[in-house]
Amino acid sequence: GQQVMQIPQYQHVQEGEDFTTYCNSSTTLSNIQWYKQRPGGHPVFLIQLVKSGEVKKQKRLTFQFGEAKKNSSLHITATQTTDVGTYFCAGQEAAGNKLTFGGGTRVLVKP
């Protein structure tokens, strides 16, 4: 079945620095979504990418969808303490309505 892998599993970042988390699917995707889960909370939708090579920005967050629609990345610039949490990518294939979640990247920010 479809598998979605995320790296790194943990990301320790100094406040003010940039980092990137990567997401790879074993199959071609119809779309990919990104979610953020704060400690003790539930996942909250960040963005959806649909087109091959698509790039979207949300303030300090930049999301990219690979040309082959099998991988994606999230780049955060000038990390702040409010960025703490786990970032999940979730891929959906063309057939069916399931979202398959990656393992998540747990982000810890050092002030």
Partner 1 sequence: GAVVSQHPSRVICKSGTSVKIECRSLDFQATTMFWYRQFPKQSLMLMATSNEGSKATYEQGVEKDKFLINHASLTLSTLTVTSAHPEDSSFYICSARKGARAEAFFGQGTRLTVV
Q: Does 104 bind partner 1 (CB under 8 A)?
A: yes
Instruction: Provide the strand spans (E) within 30-94.
Output: 31-37, 44-49, 55-58, 61-65, 71-76, 85-92
**14-37 b/e with 16+ CB inside 10 Å = b?**
eeeeebebbbbbeeebebbbbbbe
Write down the least CB distance from residue 19 to partner 1, Å: 19
Of residues 18-47, those binding partner 1 (CB under 8 A): 30-31, 33, 35, 41-45
Q: Identify which of residues 71 and 100 has a Cβ nearer to partner 1 in the complex.
A: 100
* Cβ nearer to partner 1, comparing 37 with 73: 37
Residues 59-98 within binding reach of partner 1 (CB under 8 A) = 88, 90, 92, 97-98
Percentages (nearest 5) of helix, strand, coil residues in the chain: 5, 55, 45
* Chain contacts with partner 1 (rule: CB under 8 A): 1, 30-31, 33, 35, 41-45, 48, 88, 90, 92, 97-104, 106
